[in-house]
A = this chain, B = another copy of it.
Amino acid sequence: MKINSSSEYFGEQLYLESGRILEGYTLAYESYGVLNKDKSNAIVVFHALTGSQHAAGKYEGDSKAGWWDPLIGDDKALDTQKYFVICVNVLGSCFGSSGPTSQTKKGATPLRLKFPVITISDMVNAQMSLFKRLGIAKAYAVIGGSLGGMQALCVGVEYPEFTDRVIMLASTSATSPWTISYNKLAMEGIIKDSRFKDGNYKKEDFEELPLNGFAIGRMAGHISFLSPDSMNKKFGRNYVETDGLYELFGRFQIERYMEYNGYNFAKRFDPLSYIYIIKAMNIFDASRNYDSLSDSLKNIKAKMTLISFRGDMLFMPSEMEIIRDTIKDLGRGEKVEYHCVDSSYGHDAFLVEYDKFDFYIKKAIE
Contact = CB atoms under 8 A, between A and B. Distances in A.
Interface string A234-258: 1111000000010011101111001
Interface in A173-229: 174-178, 180-182, 184-185, 187-189, 191-194, 198, 212-213, 215-217, 219-220, 222-223, 226-228
A231 interface: yes
Given A185-B219, A237-B174, A258-B184, A283 B250 contact: yes
Given A117-B248, A177-B231, A180-B255, 6 more contacts: A113-B245, A182-B223, A185-B223, A188-B259, A212-B213, A250-B279
A343 interface: no
Contacts of A191: 245
A282 interface: yes
Given A117-B249, A213-B212, A283-B250, A232 B176 contact: yes
A302 interface: no
A252 B316 contact: no
Given A248-B117, A258-B181, A188 B219 contact: yes
A94 interface: no
Contact of A254 (B181, B188, B245): B181
A17 B334 CA distance: 63
Interface of A is mostly: helix
A113 B248 contact: yes
A237 B192 contact: no
A180 B228 CA distance: 11
A275 interface: yes
Contact of A228 (B178, B212, B228, B253): B178
A285 interface: yes
B213 A255 contact: no
Integer count of this chain's copies in the complex: 2
Contact of A216 (B177, B188, B316): B188
Given A219-B184, A245-B198, A252 B213 contact: no
Nearest to A283: B250
Contacts of A219: 181, 184-185, 188
A237 B177 contact: yes
19 contacts: A117-B250, A176-B228, A177-B232, A177-B235, A177-B236, A180-B255, A181-B219, A181-B223, A181-B226, A181-B254, A182-B223, A185-B220, A185-B223, A188-B262, A189-B216, A213-B213, A216-B216, A216-B217, A250-B283
A129 B254 CA distance: 35
Nearest to A194: B194
Nearest to A114: B248
Nearest to A253: B177
Contacts of A188: 212, 215-216, 219, 258-259, 262
A25 B258 CA distance: 35
A254 B212 CA distance: 23
Contacts of A175: 237
- Give the interface centre of A181, A189, A194, A279 by most chain B CB atoms within 10 Å: A181
Contacts of A249: 117, 187, 275, 279
Contact of A184 (B194, B255, B283, B316): B255
A189 B211 CA distance: 12
Contacts of A215: 188
Residue among A113, A248, A285 with max Cβ neighbours from chain B (10 Å): A248
A254 B216 contact: no
A11 to B, nearest CB: 26
A242 to B, nearest CB: 12
